Amino acid sequence: MLKGLYCLELYNSKLQTIKVGKKYKISFSEGDYFYIGPALNGINSRVLRHLRNDKKLFWHIDYLTLNTSFKYF
């Protein structure tokens, strides 16, 4: 099992305000975004979780990866 840090590159295709978490709405400009996170229980399983559409919204990045304007590479 590979452990460590990983980086997701996302591209937002339009200016928009997104509800992130239970309390916050954040404006996102069009452009590139990067998310760096720890994967102490395995990088593969962590990245695969980000790619799934049927996940519980737990981390703030989940709100972006489920938004259709954000594409990830």
> Number of folded domains in the chain?
1
Q: Specify if 42 maps to a domain.
A: no
The pTM (predicted TM-score) of the whole model is 0.86
Q: Specify if 60 maps to a domain.
A: yes
Classify 32 as helix, strand or coil: strand
Please name every residue paired with 10 in a beta bridge, in sequence order, or none if there are none: 33, 72
Q: Specify if 48 maps to a domain.
A: no
Amino acid at 57: L
Q: Specify if 65 maps to a domain.
A: yes
Q: Specify if 41 maps to a domain.
A: no
- pLDDT score of 73 more than 80: no
**pLDDT tens for each residue of 3-13:** 999 999 999 99
Q: Specify if 43 maps to a domain.
A: no
Q: Specify if 23 maps to a domain.
A: yes
pLDDT of residue 53: 93
Q: Specify if 64 maps to a domain.
A: yes
Q: Determine contact, residues 25/31, Cβ cutoff 8 Å.
A: no
